[in-house]
Chain A
Amino acid sequence: MPEVTMTVNGKPASGEVEGRTLLVQFLREDLNLTGTHVGCDTSQCGACVVHVDGQAVKACTMLAAEADGAEVTTIEGMAAPDGTLDRVQEAFKEHHGLQCGFCTPGMVMSAAALLRDTPKPTEAEVREYLEGNICRCTGYHNIVKAIMAASGQEVSALAAE
């Protein structure tokens, strides 16, 4: 079986995988990083979004072998080592950007990727960027609001909670 080595949340990680092992399986089952969720397993819902070399990807639709040598960041890598939440996580908490929380890891990872490329997105840009992230609970308004707030923009005028 092929051996893969990658940097996950800043730490070296390696293991043996099959050709067919998905990145999300390697993260969840071999590294026990179960924060990355599997919702649809068909590349539709975005619950499995992680960053590979800084780019948001759906970990259910990427082979672990393809991430050999890459830098991977999962939701577990977002908070500081002392537990201080990342600004996106903090804003989701503050603005009730989650209910059941199933979609949240993917939402946070997508939002973080958006804010890196577009530090001050418009509301429309946030909604468009989240096209591949599905939430069955919140109705999205508070997710959008949280991301706008995380970008340092005034959100009191956005749709009510």
Chain B
Amino acid sequence: MYNFDFVKPSSIKEAVEALGTEEAQALGGGQTLIPTMKQRLAMPAKLVSLSGIAEMKGVGKNAAGELVVGGATPHATVEREAGDYPALAELARHIGDPAVRNRGTIGGSLANNDPSACYPAAVLGSGATVVTSNREIAADDFFEGMFTNALEDGEIITEVRFPIPQAANYQKFEQPASRFALVGVFVAKLKDGVRVAVTGASEEGVFRWGEAEKALSSDFSPSAVEGLSVSADGMIADLHGSAAYRAHLVGVLTKRAVAAAG
């Protein structure tokens, strides 16, 4: 890993200032960025740690009844404190292993937007709002394909606001080596309809399965998606699973998620 300057501001304002310089990059839990830097796939001149910013940590509820998760909140905290949104707490509980969950953060996961990551499915599936240092971004506008998103240089995710669904569930079919999602499906029944978000499957990253959403919005039962299928075109194919296998799993996991959400 090449050397860099390290700064640890204590407010969002200071962090944004520090990120305003050339080749500065935010550091969340470092669970993705540090390995990437070891491989010299990233070589920032300055790392701006977000771990000392109290206003970006923790789980709470706002006046609108949304669950609000600070952008620098580790997965382990969400696992413990997101009791008002059990499907989200459960998703956090299955990310990586305990040591990874003690460091890795929701902001880092969303900023990275790994095509097999778990949080993107929850954010898109819940229709959450990603709040950054200078604006609010609807989940539908945030994810722009594998490892890309709407964030601009120096913009940090300060919090994520989740509307709390009437029922929700995340089904993760683990890739046996990495334990990331080979395919993961997040289903949420919200007051204005059902949302279904799929991670791990598409070359385009997390996506919504519109056809299933429509069927489930009129009948929230596993049988409603019986007979529906997603095309294998554009699905990820690797040694862990073919495109057709992943497409098949999308249907299977959606049914399981609906059954589990009840």
Contacts and interface: CB of A to CB of B under 8 A. Distances in A.
Pair from one complex = yes
Interface of A: 2, 18-20, 22, 41-43, 46, 49, 55-58, 61-63, 65-66, 68, 110, 113-114, 129, 131-133
Main secondary structure of the interface of B (DSSP, over half): mixed
Interface string B39-68: 000000001010100000000000000000
Nearest to B93: A128
Contact of A20 (B3, B31, B96): B3
A79 B103 CA distance: 26
Contacts of A58: 99-100, 103
Nearest to A55: B102
A41 B37 CA distance: 12
Contacts of B34: 22, 43, 61-63
Most buried by A among B34, B98, B100, B102: B98
Most buried by A among B6, B30, B37: B6
Contact of B38 (A2, A18, A42, A133): A42
Given A43-B31, A110-B98, 10 more contacts: A18-B3, A22-B34, A42-B35, A55-B76, A55-B102, A58-B100, A61-B34, A62-B30, A66-B27, A131-B97
B179 interface: yes
A19 B47 contact: yes
B8 interface: yes
A20 B2 contact: yes
A142 B8 CA distance: 42
Contact of B179 (A46, A62, A131): A131
Nearest to A22: B34
B98 A56 contact: yes
6 contacts: A43-B34, A43-B35, A55-B76, A63-B34, A110-B99, A132-B97
A132 B98 contact: yes
A61 B30 contact: yes
A66 B98 contact: no
A147 B226 CA distance: 45
B2 A57 contact: no
A132 B99 contact: yes
Contacts of A132: 96-100
A63 B30 contact: yes
Most buried by A among B8, B51, B179: B8
B3 A19 contact: yes
B99 to A, nearest CB: 5
A62 B99 CA distance: 11
Given A55-B102, A66-B49, A110-B99, A61 B31 contact: yes
A46 B6 contact: no
B260 interface: no
Contact of A19 (B6, B35, B76, B179): B6
